[in-house]
Amino acid sequence: MSGQHFTEPADYGTTPRDPSMPEFVTVYEVGARDGLQNESTLVPVDVKVEFIRRLLAAGLPAVEATSFVHPLRVPQLADADEVATALSDILPTHRLPMLVPNVRGLERALDAGAREIAVFLSATESFAKENLGTDLAGQRVMTEQVIAALPAAMSVRGYVSMCWGDPWEGAVAPAVVVELVRYMLDLGMREVSLGDTIGVASPTRVEELLTMLGGAGVPMSALAVHFHDTYGQALANTVAALRCGVSIVDSSAGGLGGCPFARSATGNLATEDLVWMLDGMGVRTGVDVHEVIRTSAWLSAVMKRPLVSRTATALAAAIAEDDDRREH
């Protein structure tokens, strides 16, 4: 292929923003935690730190940095303390939440300088047992212990896994998720991210759950969505959520990661695919999609892993060629 490189949606024409879409979407980047946690390749600390710094430089407003889960359980993130320490110069000025599964994890995170944490709960008993080694009541006890041990005014993001379906239990009743989200917000969490951990939601079911949440008095501004592209539905589900008023979307650079506790789950929504779509719809994110692609392409090469993102696959070569031409 030769000639010009058309590498932005605007190259193919622009349209005014659809008024049913938010003006600005906060892209919450999970590649360094949810992504790398679920890749078999072990990535060295310095590569993780560079990955995180490059994502911030690409304009991502929140980059989840790591997880203080037990090192034997998730060896990919056994270096959480080192990663956090290596980011200490930017922790005060950037949003770099760190996941903690329990009070021990919180203590490690605080020792390493964490300024914001994330916790997760399962909508289903089966996944609570599989992932947290406890039941639905037990996970609430663990969460309340973490909240009670928090320094004053520290911000907490909550995740709910299996909001639309579970590999052991099948469909999940929206009322169960609504009750759990209310509980989490009542504990003071700044936002709750609704996870489609195995990628089985549809736009209709996304709308159903968000409508019920709104009806229960949950402000859409307190919600994020976390879609998996297992069945190719992540972008469609994202549009459905945005039209309901959600404006925080989780995604993973390069589509890194899946979920080791649910074998069928592959593929977080890729940040590049999300930003490309929002750019094309006239929705601002502050994220430079080309910089995200450069970052994913670099990491893919380091990990010897193919790029999963469609947008990154489509554009990585053209962007590299343009960069090359500029340098020479």
Residues designated catalytic: 259
By CB under 5 A, tell whether 116 contacts Mg ion: no
Specify whether the backbone of 113 is left (phi greater than 0), alpha (psi in -120 to 50) or beta.
left
Closest to Mg ion by CB, 253 or 319: 253
Q: How far is the CB of 152 from Mg ion (least distance, A)?
A: 30
Q: Which residues contact 232 (CB under 8 A, 6 or more apart)?
A: none
Q: How far is the CB of 34 from Mg ion (least distance, A)?
A: 4
Site string for Mg ion, 29-58 (x = CB under 5 A): -----x------------------------
Amino acid letter, 169: E
Which residue in 60, 61, 79 sits closest to 69, CA to CA?
79
Q: Which residues contact 130 (CB under 8 A, 6 or more apart)?
A: 168, 261, 262
Site string for Mg ion, 274-313 (x = CB under 5 A): ----------------------------------------
Instruction: Pick the stretch among 173-181, 205-213, 261-269, 298-306 that binds Mg ion (CB under 5 A).
Output: 261-269
Among 247, 268, 271, 300, binds Mg ion (CB under 5 A): 268
Closest to Mg ion by CB, 48 or 290: 48
Amino acid letter, 317: A
Q: Which residues contact 317 (CB under 8 A, 6 or more apart)?
A: none
Which residue in 226, 156, 140 sits closest to 190, CA to CA?
156
Closest to Mg ion by CB, 34 or 272: 34
Query: In whole angstroms, how far apart are CA 121 and each of 24, 41, 217, 239?
Result: 28, 26, 20, 25
Residues at the interface with Mg ion (CB under 5 A): 34, 268
